[in-house]
Structures are given as C-alpha cells and as structure tokens.
Amino acid sequence: MKVSYFETARYLAPRNLPREWPVPPEAYDREAGAQAYQGMINRLRCAEELGFDWVSVSEHHYSPQRLTPAPIVAASHLAAYSQTIKIAVLGPIVSQRNPVQVAEDLAMLDNLAPGRLVVGLLRGITGEYLTYGLNPAEARERTTEGMELVLKAWTEPQPFGWQGRHFQFRTVSVWPRPLQQPHPPTYALGTSRESCEFAARHHLGLGVSYAPFEVISKATRYYREQCARYDWQPTPGQIIYRANILLAETDQEAEELLQKQRSGQPPFPLRAGVRDALLTLDSRNVAGEARVPNVGGILPTNFCGGPDTVVDQIKRCRTEVGAGVIDLMFQNPSAGNLSFLTRSLELFGKKVLPRIRGL
Amino acid sequence: MGKPTVVQSEDRSTPGGAFSEGYVEADGFRIRYMEAGHGPPLVHLHGARGLRLTPTHDLLSRQFRVVAFEMPGFGQSPENRRTRNMADLASTMAQAVNNLGIDTFNLMGTSFGARTALWLALQQPESVLALVLEAPAAIRPENAQPPSGSPDEIPSQRLYAHPERFSSGPAPDPAIWAKTGPLVMRLRGPNRDADLEHRLRNLTTPTLVLFGTVDGVIPPEMGHLYKEVMPNCHLVFVYDAGHAISTERPEAFTEVVVDFLERHEAFIISRTETVIHP
C-alpha cells in the first residue's frame, strides 16, 4: 500500500469570513496567506521525512478552503522543496482548461521533478463549473475530449492538428516531452461509467474519492471489468482512493472529534438557488448507477479512529476497494490551530505507515 | 471561388441528392462519376468499399466542383482484370480527369483510394494542386493482415466511433466483392512499400492527412509516418471518428479540408473570431 498526503495549503482566517461561495477577495488576509503557503512546505517536509510516498494537490477556486487554484504551480513549488517524494497533481480540471496547455505544463513539471510526477485528470466537482463559466451540460464531453488530447500531445512524435468537438488546434507540438515515457503515470479521476471506460481504454489508472467502500468498490470493480474487456489488468497501484482521515491517539478521542465536526455547517455553501439549479443540470453516476451530485455538502470521513482501528480500516479498503494508493486528507477538527493536523500526520507516519506497507 | 451551389439534399440518410451521374472514357474503361458544385475542381477517389456519397460530398460541393469517381472494377462496373497495380490505376484515373477537361485539380483519396491518389500525384505533380488523404492505406503496420473478407464485413465499430448512430443499410451484394476482391488484393500493395515511400520524399504537393482518433481499420498512429516521409505534409486527427471520418464527422472533416485547400500551409493561422460583443 502506498500512501499519499493530500495538501491543500490550510488557510487560518484571522477574522470571520462570509459563509458563502464565492468568498469575496477583500476578505483575504495576506499574512494568513503567507502562513498557509509556508505551512504547506513545512508539512511537505514532514510527510517526506515520515516516508509518505506521494504528496498530492487538487484544483479548487474562489475560497480559502483549498488555496490551490493553480495545482501545477503548487506542485512545482512542492517539487522544488522536496527530493524523493512523488508529486501527484490530482488534478487539473480538464473540462475548463486548455488541454494543450495542461499537457505542456505537466510535461515541464515532469522534467523539473525528474520522474516524480503523477497525474490525475478530471471533470471537476459540480460547483467548479461556476469558476470559468463552463456549461455543466458540456463538462463531461469536454473532459473526455480534453483528456484524449492531453495524451495525444504527450505521445505524438510529429506536429498534429486536432479537429475536435470542443477543441480545435491546427498545430500541436509539445516541448518539452514528458521525461517519463510514454508519459507520467496517469489516472482518470472519477467513479462514473465514463471515467472507468476511458481509463480502461487508455490503460490509465483510476482515482476515486470520499464515498464509502461499498459504493466506491462498485466503481473499481467496473473499472477492472472494463480493463479486462481491453485485455489488460490494472495493478493495485493503479487505483487511488482519496479519503478523509481523522486519526487520534485513541478511538474515543477520534470519535469525539468526529462528533464535534459533524455538528458543523458546510464551510462555504452555494446560494440555494444556484445549488438547486446545478443539481438539475449536472449528472453523476457510480459505474452507471445515478447518484446525486455533491454540491457543497460535507464529505464523509472514511478512516476514523486510533492507529489500530485505522490500520484495520485501511486493510479493509485494500480488500474491498482494491486500492493500492490511499490519498489522505487529514481532518483538522479544531479550527484555528493546525497542531492537531501535524500530530496526526506524525502519528500516521509512526504508528500506521509501517503496518500497512506490506499490504 | 465559384458561386456556392444550392445543395438540394442535406439529409444525412440520403446524401448526394445534388449530384448528377456521368461517364467518361479512359484507358478503354467506361468510368462512372458523380458530380456537383462549382468552383475549383476536387476529385475524389473512393476506398475499397467503392463509391458511396456521404454528407461530406454535399458539404464540399458548396465550394468545389466535386467529381467523385467510381474506379474501374468497383460498384456496378464490369470486372477489371487489366489493371496490374496501383500505379496503373492512378494513370487510368489521371486520364479520366483529363478527359473531363480538367487540367489542375485538388485530389482527395479515401483509405485504399488515398494510395491511388498518391500515385497519381507522383505521376502528374503539376496537375495536383493539393492532396487530401482520408484515413490513408498507403502506409500500414508492418504486421497488418489483409482483410479476410469484403470491406462490407468490417464490423461497424471499426468504421465508426459511434456505430449506433449509423444504420447498416441494405445488405451488400456479395457478387460485387467477388468481382472487386481480386482487384483490391492485387492493388493494395505491401504494408510498407519502400519504392512508394522513397518517391514520396520528393513529392512537394501540399498534403493533408486525416485520421479518426478511433480508426479501427488503420491505426491513427500511422499518421505521423506520412509527415516523416513527405516534405509538405500536415496531419490532423479528427476526434471521436473511426475509419469513415467523412461519414461520421462531415462538418469537422469539411471545415479543415476546405480551409487547407484554400490556404495550404497557412491554414495553421487561426481565423476564428472570439469577439463576443463588439
């Protein structure tokens, strides 16, 4: 089992923020921002020292909840401050970006952090479509086409044109080429039938997130079935499970913190009218079974307890989900102070990591 | 550019409504062709399945005088035992074009017909203004096996990215392939033809090679080889199309082909306007 530490550049607001997305930029505190980005490097070093295999970043916009709207910028910063840990960009929201630029940026990063880049490509959660004015009805098709173009841009030896449905380029000829050949380890991120099929067809890994094991395992099972259809078999390392973890010294402490956290509100909800409209416009599925999009709701905590319990849960995850990589978002229930986060990170490195290595 | 032609039929299911049939003598063959449109001539040579008009023919005929031939031995024409190789067929087709009074023209070849088109351009480089090769079969993977049966037996998922969107049409007449098969097998040539590829190195005709991203007959990975061999070649991938690009994505195919035929290598300069509110 490989373990990835999901870093979001935690921002501790010095004063109360408006509880709504988008959060007005005037509320941004420069000093707090500087600390958030410094903390990112501190935790990176801690994770690398503790033996985490990867550090990951994601793309989210217009709020302090994840201060990485430009994940490739964040990733290159992380790469510059580390030596061995893999840098996982999970990932650029392909639906709302120029795929050729995504291919270029990632290829450059693969050379800057030689052999350390891992890539996840995704459609983005529903609320993200508001960032650059993307029509939700087009998001899936743009993602599929964009991902295909990224792969082509990495692998074609000669300049080519792209006559797409959503993208058109007369000449694409990416320099530098990725260092890892044919391209960095790449995952399609998502639980949908379409993501699984895309990943299987292109021999990519699959990255799934947050839903409970029994839901997620439907997607990973479907993915493996599709891979079999294309005559190949993914390794466990080709399945990433991104999950929330609340790790404390004891089960009881973790359970108390979880209760405290549950009573909270979602941090930056969308206005009800926007949320409701998005719910009707976006369609999501797990391996073909329709599911309600998560528009600003609280995500479940998938691993919770003291070290022994968490080790057992991770073992179950390995068996049930088939994931060979867990990408962990360490929960920080005590807002306003990051010491709990650092403590759980260290606790994980010392008491959990050595016991799940051999899984 | 000639005045635009009114296209009578834009119905996808029955393309080619504005085309009229004609015959021309060449090399002792009586060769059928379908023609529509005004403007610079655009000659089309079909694939191994024979002449089939597609929505792309309709779209192209808005800006070009499109002449789509049925090469001798294909379709309803008598069996052709005379043509020995692709160069022969190309020379016959060059004569047919010439006998229509066309001196210079754009030349488009599909799959098998792309190989004919390349030979024709090699024989008469001064007549061919530009070449368009749709899913060309002139360079195939070294280990590729010839199709065991008729091209009509190729499963539709190899021709189309979305076979469910296309009706299979009337069952093909096996008598046609019984007659055409030996001709295709005789003319298709080796997967890698060193002689042809050597000659292509000196062919400076502006050339556009198109492959569907999910071509299940000829791998789109063959595309870059044309660029490596030919000095003035451009490669374009048509996303979400199989082998039959012009049937599956006629607008996308036509747009880039017309742009290329009008501007040749300058077609890489965008003319797309992005002003939303002036």
Distance from the Cα of A163 to chain B's closest Cα (Å) equals 5
Q: At B192, which CATH number?
A: 3.40.50.1820
- For B201-218, write each residue's pLDDT tens digit: 999 999 999 999 999 999
Pick B58 or A261 by higher pLDDT: B58
Are B268 and A171 within 8 A, CB to CB?
yes
Residue A141 contacts B, CB cutoff 8 Å? no
State yes or no: pLDDT of B4 exceeds 70.
Answer: no
Pick A342 or B9 by higher pLDDT: A342
Query: What pLDDT shows up at residue A158?
Result: 98
State yes or no: pLDDT of B10 exceeds 70.
Answer: no
Are A164 and B239 within 8 A, CB to CB?
yes
State yes or no: pLDDT of B161 exceeds 70.
Answer: yes
Query: What pLDDT shows up at residue A335?
Result: 67
Kindly list the residues from chain A whose CB atom is less than 8 angstroms away from the CB atom of residue B235: 158-161
**pLDDT band with cut points at 50, 70 and 90 for residue B152:** confident
State yes or no: pLDDT of B68 exceeds 60.
Answer: yes
Of B209, B239, B273, which to mutate for an interface test with A (greatest number of A Cβ within 10 Å)? B239
Count structural domains, chain B.
1
Would you say residue B3 lies in a domain? no
Exposed, middle or buried by CB within 10 Å (0-12, 13-18, 19+), for B238? buried
Would you say residue B11 lies in a domain? no
- For B94-145, write each residue's pLDDT tens digit: 999 999 999 999 999 999 999 999 999 999 999 999 999 999 999 999 998 8
Distance of alpha carbon B108 from alpha carbon B106, whole angstroms: 7
State yes or no: pLDDT of B7 exceeds 50.
Answer: no
For A73-77, A158-162, B54-58, B160-164, which range has the lowest pLDDT when averaged over its residues? B160-164
pTM for this structure? 0.95
Percent helix, strand and coil across chain A, each rounded to 5?
A: 45, 20, 40
Residue A24 contacts B, CB cutoff 8 Å? no
- Rg of chain A over CA atoms, in angstroms? 20
Residues 206-225 of B with CB under 8 A from A: 210, 213, 223-224
Distance from the Cα of B147 to chain A's closest Cα (Å) equals 22
Would you say residue B2 lies in a domain? no
Pick B149 or B179 by higher pLDDT: B179
- Rg of chain B over CA atoms, in angstroms? 18
Are B239 and A170 within 8 A, CB to CB?
no
Query: What pLDDT shows up at residue B183?
Result: 97
Distance of alpha carbon B74 from alpha carbon A170, whole angstroms: 35
Structure-block tokens of residue A309: 């319990």
Query: What pLDDT shows up at residue B8?
Result: 44
State yes or no: pLDDT of A150 exceeds 60.
Answer: yes
Burial string for A289-319 (b: 16+ CB within 10 Å, else e) reads eeeebbbbeeeebbbbbbbebbbebbeebbe
Of A155, A167, A170, which to mutate for an interface test with B (greatest number of B Cβ within 10 Å)? A170
- For A223-244, write each residue's pLDDT tens digit: 999 999 999 999 999 999 999 9
Q: Which residue of A has its CA nearest to B222?
A: A156
Are B239 and A149 within 8 A, CB to CB?
yes
**pLDDT band with cut points at 50, 70 and 90 for residue B11:** low
Mean pLDDT of B40-64: 97
Structure-block tokens of residue B139: 């360079």
Quick check: A281 and A137 in contact, CB under 8 A? yes
Would you say residue B253 lies in a domain? yes
- For B80-97, write each residue's pLDDT tens digit: 999 999 999 999 999 999
**Count of alpha carbons within 13 angstroms of residue B2, beta-carbon side:** 17
Are B236 and A165 within 8 A, CB to CB?
no
State yes or no: pLDDT of B195 exceeds 80.
Answer: yes
Q: Which CATH number fits domain A2-356: 3.60.15.10, 3.40.50.720, 3.20.20.30, 3.30.40.230?
A: 3.20.20.30
Would you say residue B150 lies in a domain? no
State yes or no: pLDDT of B6 exceeds 70.
Answer: no
Query: What pLDDT shows up at residue B5?
Result: 43
Would you say residue B271 lies in a domain? no
Quick check: A154 and A174 in contact, CB under 8 A? yes
State yes or no: pLDDT of A182 exceeds 60.
Answer: yes
Which of B227, B228, B256 is nearest residue A163 as measured by Cβ atoms?
Answer: B256
Pick B179 or B2 by higher pLDDT: B179
Residue B272 contacts A, CB cutoff 8 Å? yes
Would you say residue B39 lies in a domain? yes
Are B237 and A162 within 8 A, CB to CB?
yes
Quick check: A145 and A98 in contact, CB under 8 A? no
Are B255 and A163 within 8 A, CB to CB?
yes
For A287-296, B202-211, B234-243, which range has the lowest pLDDT when averaged over its residues? A287-296
Distance of alpha carbon B227 from alpha carbon B234, whole angstroms: 6
pLDDT above 90 coverage of chain A, percent: 88
DSSP bridge pairs for A4:
A54, A327
Q: Domain of residue B205: give its range.
A: 20-142+175-264
Q: Which of B258, B268, B220 is nearest to B241 (CA)?
A: B220
Query: What pLDDT shows up at residue A263?
Result: 67
Kindly list the residues from chain B whose CB atom is less than 8 angstroms away from the CB atom of residue A171: 268
Task: Please provide the DSSP assignment of B71-133 as one string.
Answer: -TTSTTSPP--S--SHHHHHHHHHHHHHHTT--SEEEEEETHHHHHHHHHHHH-TTTEEEEEE
Would you say residue B8 lies in a domain? no
Query: What pLDDT shows up at residue A125?
Result: 87
User: Terminal CA-to-CA distance of chain B, rounded, Å?
Assistant: 29
